[in-house]
Structure 1
Amino acid sequence: MGKTGFLERLQNGGSIVVAEGYIFELERRGYLQAGSFVPEVVLEHPHLVRQLYEEFVHAGSDVVLALTYYAHREKLRVVGRENDLDAMNRAALKMAREVADENDCLMAGNICNSAVFIHSDENTFLPTENIFKEQIEIAVELEADFIVGETFSCFAEAALALKCIQKYGQGLPSVITLSASAGDVLLDGYDTVDACKKLEEAGATVVGLNCGRGPRTMLPLLEKIKQVCSIPIAALPVVYTTSSEEPHFFSLTIPDTKERAFPLDLCSRMCSRKEIEEFGTKANELGIQYVGLCCGNSSNMLRIVAEKYGRTPPASKYSPDMEKHYIYGDKTKFRKEFTEDLMAVKGGKF
């Protein structure tokens, strides 16, 4: 896609594939703490962050999203690392810019839910604005192509994030995504669909949903948003099998138990590749232009989405081909003695 800019890539129905989910993936690999979910790994093991940036690009991401999610002042305070805010954000953004430039990708700055904002308490508004301001200004300085504001459960916080991007982002495009609850109503009482429309009217470049819901429970809501919004829509579900009974990954339970799966046992509810394939197909048919995967994402899953959007990333070289498997493939391609022996062991059936 060369050095084509963010807005240009979305023109005439164009699409952008975006990898998210760094926090959960690095926790799974043993380099980030569940609970705080602060990306200390950026400073402690920067080579692993760069590697994951490169891995997601290899799998088909058009964007290197800087790992500054939860690298804001309030979350850093929880782990006693407020003094590392500047260094952590700069390191994440610098690496993202380098990897993006090396691969002709876009680089995005990232702000998120503040863990401070309370919609009924105006005293929390200014501290939240300051949190956004710090990260946006560093992203601008490190030459982000656009700013993502994500995982907002309140319309008012999402609107404030957009206002801050417009105020401090020096004209950079904005992607604002909401995290819809088990119902379609946000914590401050706004209908999620109406909230997306209001964000469009307030000047967001892209609006939509991320996190919280898996493909099955996000797609119906996206259809409603698509009906009322005229700007590009974003869809980045978690990679967990939600349902009408358990529509949000907070509500998922471990199979055969009533125990909550979030956050340590979400692995018991991972989406199948088939589910991700169906999501990619349906999102493309729906006209979702900004698409990806959030928590639970992995490179092989993102590759599926990229391929459903017509991409052939380098990782496609390793897409499954079960015709090459001695059990599932054409038996004439394998040694006759081996397949006959295997047939006998399996009772003549594979």
Structure 2
Amino acid sequence: MAPSGTRGVLERLNAGEVVIGDGGFVFALEKRGYVKAGPWTPEAAAEHPEAVRQLHREFLRAGANVMQTFTFYASDDKLENRGNSLSFTGAQINEAACNLAREVANEGDALVAGGVSQTPSYLSCKSETEVKAIFQKQLDVFIKNKVDFLIAEYFEHVEEAEWAVQVLKSTGKPVAANLCIGPEGDMHGVSPGDCAVRLVKAGADIVGVNCHFDPMTCVEAVKKMKEGVEKAGLRAHYMVQPLAFHTPDCNCQGFIDLPEFPFGLEPRILTRWDMQKYAREAYNAGIRYIGGCCGFEPYHIRAVAEELAPERGGLLPAASEKHGPWGGGLEMHTKPWVRARARKDYWASLKPASGRPLCPSLSSPDSWGVTKGHVELMQQKEATTKDQLKPLFEKAKTH
């Protein structure tokens, strides 16, 4: 249970407060050797709980108000894609993730959010009933463990996100819904504004975007969501949890189409000062739930908390004890030219060099345009190719 006296997410947002989310567990734990790139499944919650617990703790210390359960892609249909390489069920992983999130949340004034994400079943054109049953199975664990609210995140298709929201809303708990889309809309071309309206009508209390794009692109997408909701005469709170990578060259499917994905993205990482600009831009756009996704490390969340400290009653996170505002700690450096960098105008205007003289500043993304039904499409293409090659194989056998 949440500590007595801890206010819920809607209570905080209704009061106009800023809620700071945590960062990107999948990428952070992959770099630390606990998650396998490709399947991206979160068995580390059960296999290596100490690693997940420590990352939760670092985000809490950096200023996060929400400990989101490490349950990304923890649905049974996704875990089945791992074959026999996993010895844990989805329920076991989700249970362990809830316990870890609650343990660390209780160390501060933090909430626990249970999260579900898009499913292979939807992409394979399974029925609404089948897809909803997958969400319900995860939801049962969240309810048993009394999470504070629920998040449906990383959905490329608004239809599947609507189904997820409908299942989550049946609990009566607050529900947030995030699409992994940019200003162009979802993978079927539904605009951000229309997506947001559909999610609110499905029951979402908080709507926004996460992953796939850089902070400023995500903020722009949420602005469009906000415009759509207000135009429809509806009300909602707004959230954003973007990548920690610069992605100005991405197409509608985001960073997964970049040739650097997922192992060569480091040159694109935002600095802590970039994060302060992001936090201010999001706040000015009327977004009050501000966090991060893939690439976000604790120091990025600390930057968000530091930038918004004035709006949060001057509250600074524990991690700021080791970090002077705008490089203030550099005043004690032994080199005078480094001491001179202990000021806001220096870091706010810095344009960092990459140190890679032969590298382009932008890439040419792949453009597969994968949408719902892509499994059947690929199977059809394979069948067609085999039919085309069959005469050649038969001819080869006669020689």
TMscore range, shorter length: 0.7 to 0.9
Other-structure match for 2:42: 39
Instruction: Quote the residue 2:33 is aligned against.
Output: 30
C-alpha separation between the residues in 1 aligned to 2:209 and 2:318? 28
151-160 vs 240-249, greater mean Cα deviation: 240-249
- Structure 1 CA distance, aligned partners of 2:216 and 2:62? 23
**Equivalent position of 1:238 in the other structure:** 243
SS at match of 2:104: helix
Does the CA contact (< 8 Å) of 1:73 and 1:82 recur in 2? no
The 10-residue stretch of structure 1 (202-211 or 217-226) with the greater mean CA deviation from structure 2: 217-226
Q: Residue in 1 aligned with 2:331?
A: 323
Residues 160-309 of structure 1: matches in 2 within 5 Å?
A: 160-167=163-170, 170-181=171-182, 184-229=184-229, 230-243=235-248, 248-252=254-258, 260-309=259-308
CA distance in 1, matches of 2:15, 2:97: 32
Flag the 1:110–1:82 CA change in 2: closer, same or farther, 3 A: farther
Unaligned runs of 5+ residues in structure 2 are 230-234, 310-314, 342-399
The residue number in structure 2 matching 1:133 is 136
AA in 1 matched with 2:145: L
Kept in 2, the 8 Å contact 1:97–1:143? The answer is no
Q: Contact 2:28–2:297 (CA<8 Å) still a contact in 1? A: yes
Using the alignment, how far apart are the partners of 1:323 and 1:90 within structure 2?
Answer: 47
- Residues 22-31 or 35-44, more deviating: 35-44
Distance 1:82 1:72 in 2: 14
Give the one of 80, 97, 101 matched to 1:92. Answer: 97
TM-superposition CA deviations, 1:176-235 (whole Å, max 9, x none): 001115x61312331122111221122211001100110132222222222233311111
Distance 2:132 2:56 in 1: 28
State the SS of the aligned residue for 2:255: coil
* Cα distance in 1 between the residues matched to 2:251 and 2:161: 25
1:62 to 62, 65, 78: 65
How far 1:34 moved relative to its partner?
0.8
Of 56, 76, 79, the match for 1:76: 79
Q: How far apart are the structure 1 equivalents of 2:100 and 2:265?
A: 29
The answer (yes or no) to whether the contact 2:245–2:295 under 8 Å persists in 1 is yes
Contact 1:21-1:294 at 8 Å conserved across structures: yes
Could you tell me whether the CA contact under 8 Å between 2:23 and 2:298 is conserved in 1?
no
Aligned amino acid, residue 11 of structure 1:
N
Query: CA shift at 1:73, angstroms?
Result: 0.4
Measured after TM superposition, the shift of residue 92 of structure 1 is 0.7
Task: Provide the secondary structure at the position in 2 that maps to 1:64.
Answer: strand
Matches of 2:303 and 2:100, distance apart in 1 = 25
Distance 2:29 2:228 in 1: 36
Question: 1:58 and 1:318 mapped to 2: Cα distance?
Answer: 11
Asked if structure 2 preserves the Cα contact closer than 8 Å seen for 1:217 and 1:244, the reply is no
Distance 1:103 1:124, change over 3 A: same
RMSD: 2.0
Report if aligned partners of 1:261, 1:268 keep a CA contact under 8 Å in 2. no
Unaligned runs of 5+ in 1: 253-259, 332-350
Q: Output the CA distance in 2 between the equivalents of 1:160 and 1:202.
A: 8
Residue 53 (structure 2) pairs with residue 50 (structure 1): yes
1:12–1:322 CA distance, 2 compared to 1 (3 A): same
SS in 2 for 1:220: helix
Matching residue's letter, 1:179? C
TM-score by length of 2: 0.76
CA distance in 2, matches of 1:72, 1:325: 50
Q: Choose 33-42 or 293-302, whichever is displaced more.
A: 33-42
Q: Is the 8 A contact 1:20 1:65 kept in 2?
A: no
Q: Which has the greater radius of gyration?
A: 2
Specify which of 6, 10, 14 is matched with residue 9 of structure 2.
6
Identity in percent = 32
Secondary structure of the 1:233 match is strand
One of 157, 161, 167 as aligned partner of 1:158: 161
Task: Return 16-25 or 302-311, whichever deviates more.
Answer: 302-311
Paired with 1:250 and 1:35, the residues of 2 have a C-alpha distance of 11
Deviations 1:242-285 (A, max 9, x none): 11566721243xxxxxxx01111112321222221110111111
